[in-house]
Structure 1
Amino acid sequence: MNKTYRKGAIGALTDEYERALEELKTLLVKISDAEFKKVFNREAGTDFQSVKNLIVHIVRSGYVYANHIRKRFGNSYVVPEIEITKTQQGILELDKMFEYTVQTFEDKWLLTDEELLNTIIKTSWTTYDLEAIIEHAIVHILRHRLQIEKMIIEYKILEQAKKK
């Protein structure tokens, strides 16, 4: 593998963020547009009923995390309108969100451990240091990737059972 790694602790976290997104996108390319839109779980909250809704949720959340960091450093931020109807469009929106996140970190690659831990970010749901909010963003993607995997596997098992 010929990968160029980003510098510093923020760079390492960003590389892991990118890896989590790559794993998610690898899963998504195997999902048809029909499966992408299919409601798998009517009992789940609105965000979690379909792969499409989960991807919209992940993209919006990625912007929220980046915007909290931007606000903390006094940088400008945007809240884009996100509308996704097809699998490939979801992949593109994940890429745009990640690029926005990378731009958020452009002048922060070489922050020291002390600076990371002392950069406090208050959200509506909790308080993080800079490292912790990035870790939260990564785990958020991993958690929902696993949820999508389970939805698709369960769907395929049910479809096979119907054919018997």
Structure 2
Amino acid sequence: MSKGAVTALLEIYSNAIDDLKRTISVISDEKLVEVTDVQTDNPDCISIQTVLTHVVSSGFGYATTILNRNGDVRSRPPRVALANSSQYRAALDEVIRFTFQVFEDISDEDLEVFEESSKMLTNWGQRYDIEQLMEHAIVHILRHHRQIKNFLTR
């Protein structure tokens, strides 16, 4: 079973999360909950806390979607707003652990699916194969990491 591409995806995902964890390690409890974007209509983008809550929940969601691709019906853990950056770093570690666990039996050959009807349907209505969903997950971390860095400079 070839796993070079799987290993690369997981390494890049893990690196993106590690970079985010380094950034949030210096955030005070006060800065975490501070309303930073008063103009947004998106409840996930009001503060660093809401962004991180969304990121953690989404991380579990991506892995759960992949886990359920063959008909399982498991739910992701409940969405929880945490009190400090240490708790978010621990939650992000759990996302990585869970994602690696989901990928234990996935090989490179499982990553790409060309038949649209065989792709996984996400809860936002798009269809992805495993590789596409993990690429989306990686960029999701990068985009919200950038957003948090911008919040820190305000």
**TM-score, scaled to structure 2:** 0.88
**Where in structure 2 are there 5+ consecutive unaligned residues?**
none
2: CA distance between counterparts of 1:15 and 1:73?
Answer: 24
| CA distance in structure 2 between the aligned counterparts of 1:79 and 1:18, rounded to whole angstroms | 19
Tell me, yes or no, if the aligned pair for 2:50 and 2:81 is still in contact at 8 Å. Answer: no
> What displacement does 1:111 show?
2.5
Specify the alignment match of 2:145 in structure 1. 145
SS at match of 1:105: helix
Residue in 1 aligned with 2:53? 56
Alignment counterpart, residue 26 of structure 1, candidates 22, 26, 29: 22
Q: Give the structure 1 partner of residue 90 of structure 2.
A: 92
CA contact (8 A) 2:49 2:81 kept: no
How much is the aligned-residue C-alpha RMSD, in angstroms? Answer: 1.5
CA distance in 2, matches of 1:23, 1:38: 22
* CA distance, structure 1, for counterparts of residue 60 and residue 89 of structure 2: 15
What is the SS of the residue equivalent to 2:104? coil
Name the stretch that deviates more: 67-76 or 30-39: 67-76
Could you list the runs of 4 or more consecutive aligned residues of structure 1 that deviate by over 2 angstroms after TM superposition?
73-79
**Displacement, 1:75?**
4.6
Look up the match of 1:73.
70
Q: Percent identity?
A: 34
Q: How many residues align?
A: 145
Cα drift, residue 56 of structure 1: 0.4
Tell whether the 8 Å contact from 2:63 to 2:98 is kept in structure 1 after alignment.
yes
The answer (yes or no) to whether the contact 2:5–2:108 under 8 Å persists in 1 is yes
